[in-house]
Amino acid sequence: MSAIDTLFEQLRRDGRKAFMPFVTAGDPDLEFTAAVLRRLVEAGSSMCELGVPYSDPIADGPVIQASYTRALDHRIKLAEIFEMLGGVAPGLGTPVVTMLSYAIVFRRGPDRYVAEAKAAGAAGLIVPDLPADESAKLAEVCRREDLSLIQLITPTTPRDRALRIAERTTGFIYYVSVAGITGERDALPRKIVENVGWLREQTPLPVCIGFGISRPEHVRMLAPVADGLIVGSAIVRRVARAGEKPREEVLDEIGRYVAELLGAMEG
């Protein structure tokens, strides 16, 4: 089993749900990214998503887009991201998944990218702009290296297509809560509960919900039906304050925020 399979098996045995924060690599620098990853895990996160910055994110809202721009302005390199991840991942004790554009995988070559990601300690990949119907090559490479290839299903995905995507997915299914881009929202549609409930009846894979989750009330609404919850923009927005406030203060704020959401999940 992959590291992600093992994680969800343990969570199920313990009767717990996964809390999965997202952080952009290199915003404001890789040293702080490593510190944020450590703090997220210390606060109780089950898995972390590490965003590899790229110039045209198709699904990300202004907060994550801005973080990518800041990282790219510093001319961050993929090799540097892998070096940072390789230094921090062994001490985390939880899986890390890279989220990136297929353009980066393609330029590197799927075999090389997956090999380097695995060597750095990554447990899987999320490639939002790679259609599931075109993922066979990358899926084959990931399967050979025992890395999970996580695919996305959205509220507008027809149910027959959702089933086909699930068949091509390993690790967990990333269910996008809203039609649109990432970003914090005041409220989330109640339809998510029905959609995810249906999906979990169709597949043995864990189903984790992302996009828009930022408040304890969101967590209380979605945790009962999901296997995990993904929080991105709200974390990235707090990380961005490292340019204005002492870094340890920012880390403490992130830790308190994660603890608040975990309290809602477990309550």
Read off the pLDDT of residues 228-263 as tens digits, 9 standing for 90 and up.
999 999 999 999 998 889 999 999 999 999 999 999
* pLDDT value at 62 more than 90: no
Whether 49 is catalytic: yes
Q: How many domains does the chain have?
A: 1
Contact 124, 92 (CB under 8 A): no
Rg of the chain, C-alpha, whole Å:
17
Which range among 161-170, 185-194, 237-246 shows the weakest confidence by mean pLDDT? 185-194
Burial of 204 (0-12, 13-18, 19+ CB in 10 A): exposed
Q: Mean pLDDT, the chain, as a whole number?
A: 92
- Between 63 and 95, the more confident residue is 95
Instruction: Classify residue 237 as exposed, middle or buried by CB count within 10 Å of its CB (0-12, 13-18, 19+).
Output: middle
Q: Are 155 and 191 in contact (CB under 8 A)?
A: yes
- Asked whether residue 187 carries a pLDDT value surpassing 90, the answer given is no
Residue 252 among the catalytic residues:
no
Give tens-digit pLDDT for 107-142.
999 999 999 999 999 999 999 999 999 999 999 999
CATH assignment of the domain containing 225: 3.20.20.70
Cα–Cα distance between 11 and 174 in angstroms, integer?
Answer: 17
pLDDT at 181: 46
Q: Which of 9, 29, 42, 49 is catalytic?
A: 49
DSSP letters for 84-127? HHHHHHHHH-S-EEEE--HHHHHHH-HHHHHHHHHHHT--EEE-
| Cβ count near 244 (within 10 Å) | 8
**pLDDT score for 189:** 62
Q: Is 186 a residue whose pLDDT tops 60?
A: no
For residue 209, the surrounding DSSP H or E stretch is strand 207-210
Average pLDDT over residues 64-74: 92
Average pLDDT over residues 2-11: 96
Element (H, E) at 12: helix 3-14
What pLDDT is recorded for position 58? 66
Residue 227 gets which letter from DSSP?
Answer: S
In the sheet that holds 228-231, the strands lie side by side as 148-150, 124-126, 96-99, 48-51, 18-24, 228-231, 207-210, 173-176, 152-153
Percentage of residues in the chain having pLDDT higher than 70 = 94
- pLDDT tops 60 at residue 28: yes
Q: Show the domain range for 104.
A: 3-266
Check pLDDT > 70 for residue 105.
yes
| pLDDT of residue 46 exceeding 90 | yes
Q: What is the pLDDT of residue 188?
A: 59
CA dist., res. 149 & res. 123, Å (int): 9
Catalytic residue among 5, 14, 42, 60: 60
Identify the sign of the CA torsion 173, 149, 45, 153: negative
Residue 68 parent element (H or E): helix 62-73
